[in-house]
Amino acid sequence: MADEYKSRVTDLHARRKKNLGMGGAQRIAKQHEKGKLTVRERIDLLFDKGTFVELGLLAEQQPIRGIEPSPDGSPADGVVTGHGEIDGRQVWVIAYDFTVMAGSMGAVGEQFKAARVRELALRYRKPIVWLLDSAGARIQEASGSTFAGTGWLFYDQVVMSGVIPQVAAMLGPCAAGTAYIPGLADFVPMVKETSSMSLGGARLVKAATGEDVTDHDMGGSQVHCYESGVGDNEVDDDAACIASVRRFLSYLPSNNSEPPPRMPSDDPPDRLVDGLEKIVPSNPRAAYDVKRVIKSVFDQDSWFEVKPTWAKNIVIGFARAGGHPVGVVANQPMSKGGILDSDSADKAARFIRMCDAFNVPLVYLMDVPGFLVGSQVEKEGIIRHGAKMLYATSEATVPKITVIMRKAYGAGYYVMCGKGYGPDVVVAWPFAEISVMGPEGAVNIIFNKQIEASSNPEETRSSKPAPKRSIARGASTATSRYETRRQPPGHTPGGALPPPGDLPLANAPRSNEFARIESARQPSLLRP
Amino acid sequence: MEVKAELVGSVWKITSKPGDQVAEDDVLMILESMKMEIPVTAPKPGRVKEIRVKETDVVKEGQVLVVLE
């Protein structure tokens, strides 16, 4: 009896050891040659030391419909699953192992392991991270009637969306249907050169349409982080990618019923921000880099930009104010003059909705000449894209702070959380101009007849006044002094900070009607 | 390397000339669109080979403005 027990334990240890060895030394060397880390090295980087708890290590491919499993076995069935801690908070992981059958999604790994992690992450309301390095579905196990029953993966992601944070880290290929994992995730960092995603891999594309293209050319970070906007941040290597995942999660709560974590900050909240007047030119036409404003206003080193290389005319990302995470939406005059277009509206709308879902207050830094006009943008459907941003800003019930740095023109003023969109406070800097359009355009229209009739149109035009009276009429609730301190009006500079729950930022009053509508929007967590 | 207009507008001021050595992010010309001055910068260091527009020209999105080498 004792011998039998011992032999079983020995066998268990041997199987564990084999599966911890992933696809074997040769395939691991190949993985390293490509500049990639192994799945277990990645997990070590992702979690706080010694906190990873693995589920399903002993999983192996099973015979399906008479097809014998691979004689080498498929350690952990090509996917490592479990949970660990990031900065002391629990996070769940589904990490594909490219050294085992090219990280393909097999029946055991997908239906038993990954599905279980999704279920548990949602049950415990903890964030979920995918480390993607996978050739896609293991076709021999997924074709035929099996396929019809699948699809829970994306259904689950949609149910989880806005309830727990979801991160899809692109560390290798991610072909075919799995490309919807990043499509549905909240944050998608992509490793330069080695990662790619596309709805059809290169071979499938060749067979289906005849197009000759590589996975990298079709779906590398140079496409998705610059042109399509599916990828968020392009990073240099696996380590940088995983560091960005940890950083991203540090701004978000574990789920939608918790406040975002507050970090201690030794940057004084009443610090005088010097030189803003040198960054933002008084000439309303001149360009400048709004990121310099963001970096000087928020807590030192707290700025984490999302999608920095796509639709650069709007800047989005997280920062901290007095240690409290905020989502920043800022016009970028450096790119396209900060004019809003289809992609920038789309980019901002999605970010605003994510911040709203996870209780992250929004700060709008406004300097917008309006939406781009003309035949090109109408063909793109700029009205449809602009409407997404109107919708997102209107429906956001987190605290919203609007800072009008310079221009606030046209519908750009609306989508950047103008007075009508429920901001908790609107602050205007001394050069702020709020109007349906710029003074020159307005003068041309209002005094059209006089200008046309004039013998000297230029002189008539320049003699007309451009009214700047919005503050007097209550369009903005406060004007900051020329010297700019970081604290919002009403705060006692240098006073002790209240505990996170008592922060005025986190507890802006909402009418009962809003609360009722908002609670009715909570997605049902029960499967049909 | 071709430097293209990122949006429709008119050429307000050309601040470089053929033969100029430019560093990354150096301003080559300034467009005007929606009453904004929009700097066109060099994406990479190089030498200005050709300037394909003149001041007050109306340019379309994607139109080549400057050729660098």
Yes or no: say if A64 and A152 are a contact pair by the CB < 8 Å rule.
no
Cα A333 to chain center, whole Å?
Answer: 22
Record: contact A337-B8, CB cut-off 8 A = no
CATH number at residue B51: 2.40.50.100
Q: Determine the pLDDT at residue A149.
A: 61
Long-range contacts of A146-155 (CB under 8 A, 24+ apart): A146/A64, A146/A107, A150/A110, A150/A111, A152/A115, A153/A110, A153/A114, A153/A115, A153/A118, A153/A181, A154/A180, A154/A181, A154/A184, A155/A527
- Residue ranges of chain B whose CB lies within 8 Å of a chain A CB: 6-8, 32-39, 60-61
Yes or no: say if A306 and A318 are a contact pair by the CB < 8 Å rule.
yes
Kindly list the residues from chain B whose CB atom is less than 8 angstroms away from the CB atom of residue A287. Answer: 36-39
Domains and CATH numbers, chain A: 20-63+70-249 (3.90.226.10), 272-432+470-492 (3.90.226.10)
Q: Determine the pLDDT at residue A480.
A: 46
Q: Determine the pLDDT at residue A513.
A: 52
Task: Give the tens place of pLDDT for each residue, A182-229.
Answer: 999 999 999 999 999 999 888 889 999 999 999 999 999 999 999 999
Domain count across chain B: 1
Q: Determine the pLDDT at residue A494.
A: 43
Average pLDDT score, chain B? 93
What are A120's two structure tokens?
Answer: 């548990």
Candidate from A337, A373, A376 with C-beta closest to B36: A337
Yes or no: say if A97 and A75 are a contact pair by the CB < 8 Å rule.
yes
pLDDT tier for residue A483 given thresholds of 50, 70 and 90: very low
Task: Give the tens place of pLDDT for each residue, A50-74.
Answer: 999 999 999 988 877 677 777 778 9
Average pLDDT score, chain A? 86
Q: Determine the pLDDT at residue A2.
A: 79
According to DSSP, the residues that pair with A399 across neighbouring strands are: none
Q: How many CB atoms lie within 10 A of CB A16?
A: 14
Yes or no: say if B1 and B68 are a contact pair by the CB < 8 Å rule.
yes
| Closest Cα in chain A to B6 | A336
Record: contact A438-B35, CB cut-off 8 A = yes
Average pLDDT over residues A132-142: 83
Task: Give the tens place of pLDDT for each residue, A223-262.
Answer: 999 999 999 999 999 999 999 999 999 999 999 999 999 9
- Whether residue A327 has pLDDT greater than 80: yes
Q: Which residue has the higher pLDDT, A103 or A484?
A: A103
Q: Which residue has the higher pLDDT, B40 or A441?
A: B40
Average pLDDT over residues A459-487: 53
According to DSSP, the residues that pair with B31 across neighbouring strands are: B11, B38
Average pLDDT over residues A448-473: 66
| Backbone dihedral angles phi then psi of residue A346, each to the nearest 5 degrees | -60, -45
Domain range for residue B12?
2-68
Mutant choice from B34, B38, B60 vs A, greatest count of A C-beta within 10 A: B34
Compute the nearest-CA separation of B54 from chain A (Å).
20
Compute the nearest-CA separation of B5 from chain A (Å).
9
Q: Determine the pLDDT at residue A508.
A: 43
Instruction: Tell me which range, A147-151, A411-415, A419-423, is most confidently predicted by mean pLDDT.
Output: A411-415
The amino acid at residue A409 is Y
